[in-house]
Amino acid sequence: MRTIEGVLAVHEPEGEEAPAVFDSPHSGLGIPDDFGTILPERSLWGGGVDNFVDELFADAPKYGGHLLEALYLRSYVDPNRDTDEIDPDLLDGPWPDPVRPSIRANLGTGLIWSKDVPNLTLYDRKLSVAEARRRIDRYWKPYQAELAGLLEAKRQRFGAVYFVDCHSHRAVAPPNMFDAPGTLRAEMDLGTLDGAACSPAFTDVVRTTLEDCGYQVVVDGDHKGEHLIRHTGDPAHGRHAIMLEIRKDLYMDQDTISRNEGFDETRANMARLAQAICDFAKSQVRS
């Protein structure tokens, strides 16, 4: 395993390498010293974290895939947001770079979160522009660079690469999300940017494997894909990307933030999915 302390960890493939990369950008629990939030630690580890997703996909390297995980809290600076998805009202001065309208930023869950799930205020102060810059430089950029390097190395070696962006979400939509509060979400939600981010064959493998495991699966429902999928998926040039959202109640107690009786089964099923993806990826590319 390779690490950048406090930032990321890369789990290397075991045995024959597959042209597949899995990542868990939102399962990290590390709290940087300069976070400066008013929320207690226990609240920070709650609804906004994709709890245990790194563990659910821990077997991916056994089948030849790389697994990349962020080690810090996403609310500090989110690896799955772009640098223009920033809320200017969170800062004590003008942001010198481009800012675009973003539903996520407007909800307080943009590049740097101002609210945590389920609508908890993170700060009693404005962040300085320099502070925001440091978060991007020390945490966001290294994660982007590591992922881009993994994907490009495999694409160069094999001619194509298959990327799975792994997430989880609360069973019922909370107040500060874009889907209607109180909505019961699908057990498995796949995002492909309406087919623009990957080949139909890749989507079919992921969907059918999950359905064979007995899950309810939606493709491009409420979660079509965010920054990491938008910036990596380019099937015409051999880069296939898909986002997976797992409903949390399948494997954890959302109130106690602990594994529930379904955890082992869910992990076994995600291992089955990882194997299917790695086998498919190997079958699609040159050796």
pLDDT tens readout for residues 17-44: 999 999 999 999 999 999 999 999 989 9
Q: How many CA atoms lie within 13 A of 243 on its CB side?
A: 29
Domain ranges in the chain? Answer: 2-284
- Residue 74, C-beta contacts closer than 8 angstroms, at least 6 positions apart: 25, 26, 28, 48, 49, 50, 80, 113
Contacts of 130 (CB under 8 A, 6+ apart): none
Asked whether the predicted pLDDT for residue 90 surpasses 80, the reply is: yes
Superfamily of the domain at 2-284: Zn-dependent exopeptidases (3.40.630.40)
Distance CA 85, CA 96 (A): 13
What pLDDT is stored for residue 287 in this prediction?
A: 52
In terms of phi and psi (left: phi > 0; alpha: psi -120 to 50; beta: otherwise), the region of 177 is: beta
How confident is the model at residue 223, as a pLDDT? Answer: 84
Where is 153: in which H helix or E strand?
Answer: helix 141-158
| 184 band by pLDDT with thresholds 50, 70 and 90 | confident
Q: What pTM value is reported for the model?
A: 0.96
Q: Compute the average pLDDT of residues 198-226.
A: 96
pLDDT-derived band of residue 210, with 50, 70 and 90 as boundaries? Answer: very high
pLDDT at 175 over 90: no
Query: Which pLDDT belongs to residue 142?
Result: 98
pLDDT at 180: 65
Residue range 69-77: mean pLDDT, rounded = 98
- Decide if pLDDT at 61 tops 90: yes
Please check the confidence at residue 10 and state whether its pLDDT lies above 60: yes
